[in-house]
Amino acid sequence: MVISKEAVLAWIRAFAAAVEQHKEYLTELDAALGDADHGANMHRGLQAVLDRLNGVADRDIGTILRTVGMTLVSSVGGASGPLYGTFFLRAGTAAGTKMELTADDWLQMLEAGIRGIVDRGKARRGEKTMLDALGPGLDTLKASLQEGQPLNEALRRSAEAAREGMEATIPMLATKGRASYLGERSVGHQDPGATSAYLLLQTAAETWTAGA
Amino acid sequence: MVISKEAVLAWIRAFAAAVEQHKEYLTELDAALGDADHGANMHRGLQAVLDRLNGVADRDIGTILRTVGMTLVSSVGGASGPLYGTFFLRAGTAAGTKMELTADDWLQMLEAGIRGIVDRGKARRGEKTMLDALGPGLDTLKASLQEGQPLNEALRRSAEAAREGMEATIPMLATKGRASYLGERSVGHQDPGATSAYLLLQTAAETWTAGA
Amino acid sequence: MKKLINHPERVVREALEGLAAAHGDLVRVHFDPDYVYRADAPVQGKVAVISGGGSGHEPMHTGFVGQGMLDAACPGQVFTSPTPDQMVEAAKQVHGGAGVLFIVKNYSGDVMNFEMAAELLEAEGIRTASVIIDDDVAVENSLYTQGRRGVGLTVLAEKIVGAAAEEGYDLEQLKALLERVNANGRSMGMALTSCTVPHVGKPTFELAEDEMEIGIGIHGEPGRQRMKLKPADEVITMLFESVVKDLPFQAGDRCLLFVNGMGGTPEIELYIAYRKAKALADEYGLQVVRSLVGSYITSLEMQGVSLTLLRLDDEMIRLWDRPVKTPGLRWGV
Amino acid sequence: MKKLINHPERVVREALEGLAAAHGDLVRVHFDPDYVYRADAPVQGKVAVISGGGSGHEPMHTGFVGQGMLDAACPGQVFTSPTPDQMVEAAKQVHGGAGVLFIVKNYSGDVMNFEMAAELLEAEGIRTASVIIDDDVAVENSLYTQGRRGVGLTVLAEKIVGAAAEEGYDLEQLKALLERVNANGRSMGMALTSCTVPHVGKPTFELAEDEMEIGIGIHGEPGRQRMKLKPADEVITMLFESVVKDLPFQAGDRCLLFVNGMGGTPEIELYIAYRKAKALADEYGLQVVRSLVGSYITSLEMQGVSLTLLRLDDEMIRLWDRPVKTPGLRWGV
Ligand SMILES: Nc1ncnc2c1ncn2[C@@H]1O[C@H](COP(=O)(O)OP(=O)(O)O)[C@@H](O)[C@H]1O
Ligand SMILES: Nc1ncnc2c1ncn2[C@@H]1O[C@H](COP(=O)(O)OP(=O)(O)O)[C@@H](O)[C@H]1O
Ligand SMILES: [Mg+2]
Ligand SMILES: [Mg+2]
Ligand SMILES: [Mg+2]
Ligand SMILES: [Mg+2]
């Protein structure tokens, strides 16, 4: 099984739709921990992405994802703009001029994207950020593929691990981003960025395993 | 029966006490029609009067009342300061150097005081102001004395007329003072200045007829 | 009541102490009676320009004392006119031998207290002149009321007349100028929320979550109409049309457009309001040659805005541009 | 939600249009990407001083563009950092060949977006330097957080560094000066009420009628402590002591004392706050040689205040006093 360029486009659209659907929820989570704008930020950014997506739909996957990244960088703002922007820029660079992706391509793109988030935001796992959903998602993808699981199953497990990682942010103490100002009061709330990051991997799994 | 200087002092103190007791009520009335300060204004002014009253307690009634007037002028502010101030200044001037008052003295003082309010405020009766309590109070005092009623009875009737006048402000349309900005909406509320003016004549009647 | 105060009865006094502490280079504060005056007063040979009124409208009037604007301001208690002794003592403190001009907002209390002050000063041989500002078009039936209230135009009048006094205009000239400013300016305001008078402790009026009051006064006096909250552009259109039709302003008129916040209005909303007011002025063919945007005549923490339009002539423009150095308004120096 | 707006999504855009309409003599506004810049930019040979951040803090930063302060400001959505393309385009518009200085408040979003902008500009051969302002002492455990937030000191820093840039300081000198200002200033704020982000539509946090939040951030981030409302003097004492002990300020230090309103605070309360802060400064033996009182860095309609204390040296005093001509701060010109 490979992931076609069309599937990549479908994933981005599905991510945008999921964020639209959960916009209020993401903002509510951010109201408890930050400044109540994560839903609005991501939604604004992804709407801008949708506007530009058709214009690059004929190009290679690297170009498509770098366009997504640049668009997010220049339309989201806040912390999540440069972070998600860098994620897609790096993932796109890793994808290069490919027109379809193997399981291993996706693993390397995800790894590069997450490394971009770390470079930009200087956070580590366990600090109650999007990394706490993405990190487990990456680990599980890698382990599943190494175990020899088919891509379908690896994607499902990866999304499931991201969900668990997202939920695991609830008891965490935030030490990065706005939530860190809450100190002890950050405990008991789910991180909004980890939540949107789960949606990112969940829509990938859902889109790419549909009908499989 | 005459009104002694002590009785005049007792009246001022009783007026101050009545305003203190009804401070919130006066302010509430002013909240409906004006700017919610009539109780506070009158209370502040009369507390200042009490502070100065002992210093002039040995002097004649004219001096005492002019001191009350000057103190109100310089401590009440708003519309009621110059109006009540002028009332006491003119009433004091009418009293001159007397040390006690006859029924006729009081009649002339009240008339002079009210004329002062008209000169200063340019209102007429029926405009929903303190004049609508004071005016009927004066008329009834004059008529009762002309009828040959004793001062006690004339004072009681005068206060009663002031009360009726005060209540009669409820259906009136305000055309002077802040309440006038309400237009039709001023109808249905009792005028705060008419209410404090009733207290003025009511405490005079009560103080001067006590034990009589 | 949520206020950063110590005690309702000490609000005015303590704020004056703060003003004195913060702006000792510009103003002095006298207590009992209370008035704020220019640090360099009296300026010999200059007409002293004095205003005053209830407190709670800051920066007006105390924040407008200084070079090029007021010589003194007399603050009453919150929303309560000052008393004549304040104006009398302030006038004696600042007058430079050329007389005293009183700028009075049209409220019965203010008018009567300033009138008593003028009588007392005349008796002491100090010449006075008074002009009553009444620019609030929300008061429609002014024949049957105290007349129009003095609102936003007061700020512009104090600036323009203050500059003229600084230039050496005499008392008659200043009075005539002030009357001309008053004749050429109109205002109207609205509120999204009530204010709370400190010693009252609860909101002066109640507005539902989806209501606003159009034509509000600066003391929480009710306005022309209570109605459902509307988009900013519609609100500003209502205010603008009432103001522009009243004078009426004519195509080609040069104007100063003043968008004022009522105290609790964020600046971002004032600029949204200005945007629409300016667009409407353009539609009417008015030339907006000067602007002012900010919270200059307020009603404690009330949220809302007022619009003021002043038809300018060359003299007013020149005087508006002259230097002003006060805690609340400053340029050119 | 009671706001004088047309639509939550158009708040920033329409306010910028209003700013352009009101202050065309001082600033220009560019849209898509959004930035505000000096009407006379670029000033050849001068370092361009640029700041930016989420909107909703007006007059900061857009109101501080003009002679003697910022060359450009990049406004994000309400409480959301601007994006790198804004800073890149603004920098290209205003830079006069001597490099670009970014003044960045310490929020992860702001830091990352300005960092990306700096990388992009360096790639295009435009020299940049950035200084991160982090003066909020409310953040105690800054080792375990993003670090202290940038708050009130930002206003003072923009004024002082803007004046130095106008005088011809080069990029290294400006960076060193800005770091010195940041090292010598401390702030802390409190809130009586929450603000409401337009697109959220309800208050960011809930405070009971008798509660306040001490150590609040400028985006409604919770503070050090939620407690029962106290008299102003006690509130100011809490803020002042946290601020003064942190640097720590020493007896004899010359200081600028800045009392800032959060957007919905009436001016009369700011002066009550200033009065106490000044009295405490006197007690500590500090010399308050300069003051600023007003709502300069706000959180929409939030009621509350912040205190900033900046230890001054001769150079900073001279630069503070230099002329400034912006919509939000103006003197000497
Ligand atoms: N340094 C960082 N590294 C990784 N993720 C971060 C970092 N800072 C913040 N985040 C993520 O960003 C999310 C908040 O995004 P958003 O609300 O859009 O931006 P802002 O905090 O600027 O308002 C947080 O929930 C967190 O997951
Ligand atoms: N021109 C006037 N003549 C007579 N009484 C007046 C006049 N204007 C106002 N009043 C009286 O003053 C009262 C209001 O007094 P107060 O609330 O103390 O002053 P203010 O209206 O300045 O706040 C009104 O209820 C009315 O009775
Ligand atoms: Mg956020
Ligand atoms: Mg009243
Ligand atoms: Mg009053
Ligand atoms: Mg944000």
For the stretch A155-209, pLDDT in tens is 999 999 999 999 999 999 998 888 887 888 889 999 999 999 999 999 999 999 9
Residue C316 pLDDT class (50, 70, 90 cuts): very high
| Domain range for A160 | 3-208
Contact across the interface for A177 and D146, Cβ inside 8 Å: yes
Instruction: Please name which ligand lies nearest the alpha carbon of B179.
Output: 2
* Least CB–CB distance from D264: residue in C22, C233, C301: C301
Residues C252, B132: Cα–Cα separation, whole Å: 50
Task: Choose the weakest-confidence range: A1-15, C209-223, D137-151.
Answer: D137-151
Is the pLDDT assigned to residue A1 strictly greater than 90? no
Tell which one of B22, B25, B80 to mutate to probe ligand 2, the residue whose CB is within 8 A of the most ligand atoms.
B80
- Per DSSP, helices labelled H in chain B are 5-21, 23-33, 38-53, 61-75, 80-95, 103-121, 131-146, 151-168, 192-209
Q: Do chains C and B touch (3 or more CB pairs under 8 A)?
A: yes
Q: What is the mean pLDDT of chain A?
A: 95
The domain ranges of chain C are 11-184, 185-311
Q: Is the pLDDT of residue D190 over 90?
A: yes
Chains contacting A with at least 3 CB pairs below 8 Å?
A: D
For residues D185 and D161, what is the distance between their CA atoms, to the nearest angstrom? 14
Q: ∠A28-D84-D20 over CA atoms, to 5°?
A: 90
Closest-lying ligand 2 atom to the alpha carbon of residue B197: 27
CA distances from D233 to C79, D218, D269, D271 (A): 24, 22, 11, 12
CB atoms within 10 A of CB C33: 17
Query: Please, are residues C253 and C238 in contact by the beta-carbon 8 Å criterion?
Result: no
Which stretch of A76-80, C34-38, D163-167 has the lowest confidence by average pLDDT? A76-80
Neighbours of chain C (3+ CB pairs under 8 A): B, D
Q: Does residue A80's CB lie within 6 angstroms of at least one atom of ligand 1?
A: yes
Average predicted confidence (pLDDT) for chain C: 96
Q: Distance from the CA of B193 to the center of ligand 2, in angstroms? A: 6
CB contact under 8 A, B31 and C79: no
- The fold adopted by the segment(s) D185-311 is Hypothetical Protein Tm841; Chain: A;domain 3 (3.30.1180)
Q: Quick check: D70 pLDDT over 80?
A: yes
pLDDT for residue D142: 61
| Measured distance CA(C151)–CA(D211) in Å, rounded | 34
Residue of D nearest to C22 (CA): D291
Q: pLDDT class for C222, splitting at 50, 70, 90?
A: confident
A18 Cα to the center of ligand 2, angstroms: 63
CB contact under 8 A, B34 and C221: yes
Whole-angstrom distance, CA of residue C43 vs CA of residue A70: 63
Q: In whole numbers, what is the pLDDT of chain B averaged over residues?
A: 95
Within 8 A of C200 by CB-CB distance, chain B residues are 27, 31, 36-37, 40
pLDDT tens for D191-220 read 999 999 998 888 988 899 999 999 999 988
Is C275 close to D330, i.e. CB distance below 8 A? no
| pLDDT score for B168 | 98
Residue C42 has pLDDT above 90, yes or no: yes
Strand partners, C196: C203
User: Chain D partners of C60 at a C-beta cutoff of 8 Å?
Assistant: none
Listed in sequence order, the residues at least 6 apart from D119 whose beta carbon sits closer than 8 Å to its beta carbon are none
CA distance D104 to D52: 7
Percent of chain A clearing pLDDT 70 (strictly above): 99
Q: Does D107 touch chain A (CB under 8 A)?
A: yes
Whether pLDDT at D141 is above 80: no
E-strand stretches of chain C? 27-30, 35-38, 48-55, 72-78, 100-105, 128-133, 185-191, 211-214, 225-228, 254-261, 287-294, 304-311, 324-325, 330-331
Domain with residue A40: its CATH number is: 1.25.40.340
In chain A, how many domains are there?
A: 1
Dmax (CA) for chain A in angstroms is: 49
pLDDT tens for each residue of chain B, 212 residues long:
899 999 999 999 999 999 999 999 999 999 888 888 899 999 999 999 999 999 999 999 999 999 999 999 999 988 999 999 999 999 999 999 999 999 999 999 999 999 999 999 999 999 999 999 999 999 999 999 999 999 999 999 999 999 999 999 999 999 888 888 788 888 999 999 999 999 999 999 999 998 65
DSSP 3-state assignment of B194? helix
Burial-class residue B106 by CB neighbours within 10 Å (0-12, 13-18, 19+).
buried
Which of the ligands is closest to the CA of residue A174?
1
Is the predicted pLDDT of residue C146 greater than 80, yes or no? no
Residue type, B210: A
Question: C120 CA to chain D: closest CA distance, Å?
Answer: 30
**Residue C94 backbone class (left: φ over 0; alpha: ψ -120 to 50; beta: rest):** alpha
Q: Which of D12, D25, D268 to mutate to test the interface with C (most CBs of C within 10 A)?
A: D268
Asked whether C36 and C75 are in contact (CB, 8 A), the reply is yes
Pairwise pLDDT comparison (D75 vs D202), residue with the higher score: D75
Q: How confident is the model at residue D168 (pLDDT cuts 50, 70, 90)?
A: very high
pLDDT, residue C144, reads: 63
Of the bound ligands, which one is closest to the alpha carbon of residue B129? 2
Round to whole Å and give the CA distance between C263 and D267. 8
- C-alpha D323/C-alpha A50 separation (Å) is 47
Q: How many CA atoms does the CB half-sphere of C286 hold within 13 Å?
A: 26
Q: Work out the minimum CA distance from A75 to partner chain D, whole angstroms.
A: 7
b/e map of A191-201 (b: 16 or more CB within 10 Å)? bbbbbbbbbbb
Checking if the pLDDT of D97 tops 80, the result is yes
> How far apart, in Å, are the Cα atoms of B109 and each of A201, B86, B95, B101, D37?
91, 12, 6, 10, 71
Q: What average pLDDT does range C266-295 have in this prediction? A: 98
If residue B4 lies in a helix (H) or strand (E), which one and from where to where?
Answer: strand B3-4
**What tokens were used for D274?**
């200033």
CA of A80 to the centre of ligand 1 (A): 5
pTM metric for this prediction: 0.93
**Conformation bin of residue D45: beta by default, left when phi > 0, alpha when psi is -120 to 50:** left
D25: which 2 tokens?
A: 């003599």
Would you place residue D265 in the very low, low, confident or very high pLDDT band (cuts 50, 70, 90)?
very high
Alpha-carbon span A131 to A122, nearest angstrom: 11
Q: Please state the rounded mean pLDDT for residues C176-203.
A: 95
Question: Residue C146's closest chain B neighbor by CA?
Answer: B176
| Residues A170, A172, A177, A180, CA torsion sign | positive
Active-site positions of C read 57, 219
Q: Do D222 and A185 touch (CB under 8 A)?
A: yes
Catalytic residue among D23, D61, D95, D219: D219
Model pLDDT for residues D223-255, shown as the tens digit of each residue: 788 999 999 999 999 999 999 999 999 999 999
Give which of C25, C58, C235, C267 to mutate to test D binding, by max D Cβ within 10 Å.
Answer: C267
* CA distance to A19, D52, D134, D143, per residue, from D150 (Å): 30, 12, 4, 16
**Chain B contact probe: residue of C86, C196, C200 with most B CBs at under 10 A:** C200
A81-91 pLDDT tens trace: 999 999 999 99
Distance separating alpha carbons of residues C116 and C87, to the nearest angstrom: 9
pLDDT of D144 over the 80 cut: no
Q: For C266, which of D233, D301, D330 is closest by C-beta distance? A: D301
Evaluate whether D205 touches D217 at the Cβ level (below 8 Å): no
Do D331 and C327 lie within an 8 Å CB cutoff?
Answer: no
All residues of chain C having their beta carbon less than 8 Å from the beta carbon of residue D304 are: 4
* Catalytic site includes residue D57: yes
Distance to chain C for B171, nearest Cα, Å? 16
Q: Which residue of A has its CA nearest to D81?
A: A78
- How many of the other CB atoms lie within 10 Å of CB of B164? 15
DSSP assigned state of B206 = H
Q: Which residue of C16, C212, C271 is the best one to mutate when testing the D interface, meaning the one whose CB has the most D CBs within 10 A?
A: C271
Q: Do A120 and D112 touch (CB under 8 A)?
A: yes
Task: Please report how the helices A38-56 and A192-209 are oriented relative to each other, as an axis angle in degrees rounded to 10.
Answer: 40
Superfamily of domain C11-184: Dihydroxyacetone kinase; domain 1 (3.40.50.10440)
3-class SS shares of chain D: helix, strand, coil, % to 5: 35, 25, 40
Please judge whether D113 and A175 are an interchain contact, meaning their C-beta atoms are less than 8 angstroms apart. Answer: no
Cα–Cα distance, D208 to D192 (Å, whole number): 9
- Out of B74, B121, B178, closest to residue C112 by CB: B121
pLDDT value at D139 more than 90: no
Q: What's the pLDDT at B31?
A: 86
- Nearest chain B residue (CA) to C299: B35
Four-point Cα dihedral A181, A186, A190, A192, nearest 10: -10
How far is the C-alpha of C16 from the C-alpha of C58, rounded, in Å? 11
DSSP D40: T
Q: Which chains touch D (3 or more CB pairs under 8 A)?
A: A, C
| Res. D143: pLDDT tops 80 | no
Are C268 and D15 inside 8 Å of each other by CB?
yes
Residue D107 has its nearest CB partner, among A80, A121, A178, at A178
